[in-house]
Amino acid sequence: MRAVFNLVKLLFVPALLEELIFRVGLLPHLTEGVATGPWLAWAALRLGLYVLANVVLSQLRPQAAAALRDRRFLLMVLWLGLVLTTLYGLTGSLFAVTFVHWLTVVVWLYGFGGLARLRGEAPTAA
């Protein structure tokens, strides 16, 4: 039961919350008719803020700082941001970007040792 609760919690924070802030809140929707150039400028700004937010989070969670500042993690954040921005640009769907974000977080935390890294522990080999 606790595992289900954790999965649902991850759906809301970080997935839905970050998507509301960094995609839906900062990027023009498809229906707004914004030209490609300005839209891409907004997307680049938003992407930079998204990566920066993860660095700032490392200041707020000292036990997770090493994981959150790791270049590999930040590269993953950058790639995820690019994928989600492209998906939002193509679909305009909050549901789609939230689901992909949530799935990525769940796989990283539980499949690739992210949970241990955030706790400041060395991940165990599967």
In tens, the pLDDT along 69-95 reads 999 999 999 999 999 999 999 999 999
Query: What tokens appear for 124 in the block?
Result: 């165990």
Domain ranges for the chain: 2-118
Q: What is the pLDDT of residues 46-63, one digit of tens each?
A: 999 999 999 999 999 999
pLDDT band at 114 (very low <50, low <70, confident <90, very high): very high
Percent of the chain with pLDDT over 70: 98
pTM over 0.85? The answer is: yes
Alpha-helix runs per DSSP H in 61-113: 65-69, 71-91, 94-106
